[in-house]
Each structure stands twice: as C-alpha cells, then as structure tokens.
C-alpha cells in the first residue's frame, strides 16, 4: 500500500468467504497500529444494515473504518416482475472529527485496499453517519449501473 500499511491475510480470506459462500452480511475493517488492516467486526447473514452503520461510525464522528456490505434490494425493469438482487459495496468512512493523521492514513491506503476487494463494483466514501445510514442513497448508487 502507498502508505506502508499492509492488508492481513485474514481480511482477504474473510472477504472471499463473504463473497463466495455468503458467510457474512458485512465486514468492518480498521488499521491496527498504523501498520496493518485487520477485520474488526463480522456480521452474520441475518444482521441488519443499521448494525453495520453503528459499527462503522461513532457518536463523535471521530473514527475511520473500511467496510464491505452485501446489500439486498428489489429491482424492477419496466415490463418485468420485481426481482431481488444482492450487491456488495465498499465503504471508506472517515468521520468529520477524526484526527487529520488518521484521515490521511485511511485515504492513502484506500486504493490499495480497494484493489484487494475483487468483485466489488460500488464504492462509497463518506464522512458522516447520516450519509452512510441513508439507505435510499445507497440503493440509488447500487442501481445506477443496472442494465435497463
């Protein structure tokens, strides 16, 4: 990674377990000791989006995290029945009150981290819990690339 931060093998392994076998609903990652990205939280398939948002953010908006979420939504093309879809998206969250050094560390490590999350097609960068909690906006971003 350009910041010198490494990605632990467990991050990659857990991500592929989530992607291939649908083992988790979400994963939350943090940079441990400014040296390595580690898995901090894993959400079972029954976990709700609100739980993910709560783990990604803080009341004081003073933390940074990466997260991957396997989002389920309904999609309807004109003239066709409604279908259920699942798409994974990657979030980079740096709270507005996070220390500048922490924001710089996460932003300089993001592209390299993103490259390890093979198969994720939607990326969200946010600085507030409200932005991340807005499920309509998340669905809009996920549906933006749908074929019509």
Can you give the residue ranges of every domain in the chain? 6-143
pLDDT higher than 70, residue 92: yes
pLDDT at 39: 97
Give the pLDDT of residue 59.
80
Residue 1 reports pLDDT greater than 70: no
**Across residues 103-112, what is the average pLDDT?**
94
Tokens of 90: 């990657």
pLDDT tens-digit readout, 127-142: 989 999 998 888 888 8
Average pLDDT over residues 33-39: 94
Averaged pLDDT, 15-41: 95
What's the confidence (pLDDT) of residue 31?
95
Rounded to the nearest 5°, which phi and psi values hold at 140?
-60, -45
Helix (H) and strand (E) counts in the chain: 5, 6
pLDDT score for 80? 78
DSSP 3-state of 83: strand
The CATH topology of domain 6-143 is Severin (3.40.20)
Strand duo 64-75 + 83-94: pairing: antiparallel
Measuring CA to CA, which residue among 135, 113, 36 is closest to residue 68? 113
């Amino acid at each position: 990674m350009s910041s010198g931060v490494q990605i632990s093998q467990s991050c990659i392994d857990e991500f592929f377990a989530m992607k291939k076998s649908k083992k988790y609903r979400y994963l939350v990652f943090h940079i441990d000791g400014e040296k390595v990205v580690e898995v901090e939280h894993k959400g079972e398939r029954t976990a709700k989006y609100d739980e993910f948002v709560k783990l990604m953010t803080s009341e004081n908006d003073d933390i940074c995290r990466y997260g991957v979420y396997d989002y389920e939504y309904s999609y309807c093309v004109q003239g066709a029945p409604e279908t259920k879809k699942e798409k994974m998206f990657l979030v980079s969250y740096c709270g507005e009150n996070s220390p500048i050094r922490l924001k710089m560390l996460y932003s300089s490590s993001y592209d390299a981290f993103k490259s390890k999350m093979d198969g994720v097609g939607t990326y969200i960068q946010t600085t507030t819990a409200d932005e991340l909690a807005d499920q309509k906006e998340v669905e809009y971003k996920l549906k933006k690339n749908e074929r019509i």
